[in-house]
Chain A
């Protein structure tokens, strides 16, 4: 089968020898919404720019619908990019901006008008069609950028933090519109963001990148519940990490020897030999809070409540573990009773809800 986008051992090393992207493998099916997420400098934007053709790769290949585009300049690749600042042409009206790609491709005037009109309708830009780009609001610019990129019917739409320049409220509603748009037109979206919530909300699959490498490629649920590396466990969600060494594995559940005694978590298919250093990653929502008087034992952590914040239906507790590590736990308001509001508590979890990852 041919994929819409295939990255084969894609790599880039800067002239000064710094690796920006290392041996990146990815296959994206038609109509998929894939996000690259990671801290700044992780190589996500570089990878996107290599797919668009703005940056040359130094190793590996980029295939779009089976065709190797690695050596093609950006103007000959079947991709459209939505830039972080939208990069609208400031000396053109909204209509001229949208029309640009069709004009360049030599599409005849009647056909051009039909397609531009359809795109203006779809993105509700009729009111501003004859305005110049600099006078538009952030949301309008973003829609013009989308219209301009989509009107040429690219195989893949590349989005470089397109919501970063918008304010928080607008971002929420545009996230929704973006997902809707992608579903209706059915083309592949590759989306770069540093905001994990955006990646988790929008994507079919998320690629977590760190230091030029792809750490994990998973659907949002699996990524959130089953981190496969210490980096992902720290970066995605709100996990508590306990260091230890593997004492044994049984039925996919590993027992770790930690400073707080034996603790268990799921191996999630990873293979651990006894004695290897590992981390137990416990998602904040897996914790159950009980009174400190409960007996100590496996999967039990003593903690001291430092403070609490009422978030409406939820309550956020700031809890100090015996080793000084501070963790934040959100729990339902009903679970939270005054008994342990300021003092000692016992935290427990179900071993399958926690994940064991190799120490880094």
Chain B
């Protein structure tokens, strides 16, 4: 291609070729202008703050003030404190558990919506129904779990009434379990959506072809449906991961501040004006998210599928 271009250009007067080139360049610049507002916005309000946080994490922290004298003290403190390392571990553990649960609970729902509801209108209605809980505010949704999960909450009352349990289950509220229940409920829909979308794009005749060739339903699910829905799984997993890793409200409300994720540490440190330390945790959290998202994206070739 470029060789052909060169041949054509060589056959023309020099100035014409130059004029063509400048016109092309100008057109390219014109197109890039479309990105300017977004680039400016992101630089000012995303890239600059991130750079700032990295910078501040190396400032020297005194009890009530912070001075721009570079030091690694906050970093050393983070990695030598059992409390903060355990918050890092809690974050990773909750991420793995919630991601696994949203996948296990969400995939069958997505399978039902994406594969077995073939009517597009019904499909939309069901997907909208999935996001109905989002019509209330995040905090109300989190707080609403308390009367559900408490010792005298709805779940315990129902189980007691049905005679399934003799004593109220105390582990339901203000434990890590309640945090897992709450986060799974809130984030499962972000798993269902992308998977259902990918599944609804699978050509039904591809599934028929597999059955025609002798594959049982289980085999079709394993060899055709699952691989073809992988991009949806990855996108859903990215959504859920980013949101779970950054959580602070759900663990705070549902564990009675017993379960601390990195997000809770940041809130706490900012509250007591420990900016340098909050920045360290912020950087750790950002790096953790970046690594996890990068790993997830390697699971499926999104460029090919979307």
A residues neighboring B (CB under 8 Å): 52-54, 73-76, 79-81, 83-85, 87-91, 100-101, 104-105, 148-149, 152
Contacts and interface: CB of A to CB of B under 8 A. Distances in A.
Nearest to A100: B213
Interface string B185-219: 00000000000000000010110111111111001
Contacts of A89: 206, 209-210, 224
Interface of B: 203, 205-206, 208-216, 219, 223-224, 227-228
B187 to A, nearest CB: 27
Contacts of A101: 213-214
A121 B213 CA distance: 21
A182 to B, nearest CB: 19
A152 B213 contact: yes
Contacts of B223: 100
A148 B210 CA distance: 10
Contacts of A74: 208, 211-212
Contacts of B227: 91
Nearest to B224: A89
Given A87-B208, A89-B209, A90-B206, A152 B224 contact: no
A83 B215 CA distance: 17
A104 B208 contact: no
The DSSP consensus for interface residues of chain B is helix
B205 A87 contact: yes
A83 B213 CA distance: 12
A75 B208 contact: no
Contact of B209 (A79, A81, A91): A81
- What are the nearest 9 A-B pairs in CB distance? A101-B213, A87-B205, A87-B209, A104-B214, A74-B211, A83-B205, A104-B215, A81-B212, A87-B206
Given A75-B213, A100-B223, A148-B213, 15 more contacts: A54-B212, A74-B211, A75-B211, A75-B212, A79-B212, A81-B208, A81-B212, A83-B205, A85-B203, A87-B203, A87-B205, A88-B209, A89-B224, A104-B213, A149-B212
Residue among A53, A74, A85, A88 with max Cβ neighbours from chain B (10 Å): A74
Contacts of B208: 52, 54, 74, 81, 83, 87
Contacts of A79: 212
B205 A85 contact: yes
Nearest to B228: A91
B217 to A, nearest CB: 9
A152 B203 CA distance: 22
Contacts of B216: 75
Given A90-B228, A91-B227, A91-B228, A75 B215 contact: yes
B231 to A, nearest CB: 10
Contact of A83 (B209, B214, B219, B224): B209
Contacts of A84: 205
A52 B216 CA distance: 15
A84 B208 CA distance: 12
Contacts of A149: 212-213
29 contacts: A52-B208, A53-B212, A54-B212, A74-B208, A74-B212, A75-B212, A75-B214, A75-B215, A75-B216, A79-B212, A80-B213, A81-B208, A81-B212, A84-B205, A85-B203, A85-B205, A87-B203, A87-B208, A87-B209, A88-B206, A89-B206, A90-B206, A100-B215, A101-B213, A101-B214, A104-B213, A104-B214, A148-B209, A149-B213
B214 A152 contact: yes
A303 B268 CA distance: 99
Contacts of A88: 206, 209
Contacts of A90: 206, 228
A101 to B, nearest CB: 4
B203, B205, B227, most chain A CB atoms within 10 A = B205
Contacts of A148: 209, 213
Contacts of A100: 210, 213, 215, 223
Contacts of B206: 87-90
Contacts of A76: 214
Nearest to B223: A100
Contacts of A85: 203, 205
